[in-house]
Chains A and B, each alone.
Chain A
Amino acid sequence: INAEYGGHTKFIEASMVVYSLYVISKSGGLIYQQDYDNIPRLGMNERILLGSTFHGLHAITSNLSPVSGSSGIELLETDTFKLHCYQTPTGIKFYLIAEPSHPDLFQTLLSIYKCYTDFVLKNPFYELDQPIRCELFDVELEKLLSSSPPSVK
């Protein structure tokens, strides 16, 4: 199946494509965005707007809950994609857009969070809530999420 921890080789099947990753800061600003597959490229402004829109949607879905104590959207499924979101205890949101047939991405999101703590938070030059520009973070995520494996399906 699919071993998703950075550094190990992965076998990815055709249906397990991840299209893109968005990371939203606590205040709703987009701090990281990356596409991992061939999807129509959006302009940077559009991506920032999408990130902020999602931040708002996430908050509203939490408020609209028929029971108290709900989180925001964790999973959204449509005919063409699936969106998985993980909100950290510190309020950062990581969300992935993937193929609809993709199995649960929760572990992947946790691995991404781990990469974030290792390569962004521990980077002495990184300021919290600023756009992420850490090369090692990009490299690790590429290993984790890129769908062009050298090996088999």
Chain B
Amino acid sequence: VSTQSTGVHLYCVFRTDRSARIRRERMIFNFYIFSRNGTCLYYEEWNIPKEGRTPKAIQEEQKLMFGLLYSLRGFITKTSPKPCETFTYYKTSRYKLHYLETPTGLKFVLNTDKDAPTMTDELKKLHQEYYVEYALKNPLYKLGEPLGACEGFNSRVINFLTSHPEFKRRVVH
């Protein structure tokens, strides 16, 4: 498996001559924030191969993601034996999606490798310590607008996620 990178991201090379048994590849793939009405307020991705990922494709994917979350919400409400409207995470054979929905309807979504531990605390931190402090309390930021331009928020979030222990580390045995 080889991973690609751009100048900004970490570069990792798989050396076949080391005959290393790789146990688990920690990865954070991407992070979304959706507003209550479905606008994607924030999106960053890492460790994803770049072929075919035009801005339009990414936008379509964001819409699909919101649609999925919306449908999942309805499904969970109906399926749950006790009243419940939201989920903590779901896992597939290749990735894990961590989810947090705030009381105001904001949706925080984080995709990691499938063996990552729960990231609920990280999502809560992203909401409380970054969104509330650097976006909500920012007098120049208007609610509902994309957060990429909100420099204080943007740089801190990228820093937080890229320096997280779960970000891109091959555990080699």
Contact = CB atoms under 8 A, between A and B. Distances in A.
B24 to A, nearest CB: 14
A68 B48 CA distance: 10
Interface stretch (A6-14, A77-85, A115-123, A135-143): A77-85
A97 B97 CA distance: 19
Nearest to A54: B75
Chain B at the A interface: SS class: mixed
Contacts, number: 97
Contacts of A61: 68, 90, 92, 97
Nearest to B111: A66
A74 B92 contact: yes
Nearest to A67: B94
Contacts of A65: 92, 94-95
Q: How large is the interface on B (under 10, 10 to 19, 20 to 34, 35 or more residues)?
A: 20 to 34
Given A65-B92, A74-B91, A81-B80, A57 B75 contact: yes
14 contacts: A42-B78, A57-B68, A60-B64, A60-B67, A61-B68, A66-B45, A67-B29, A73-B92, A74-B91, A76-B90, A76-B91, A80-B81, A81-B80, A81-B84
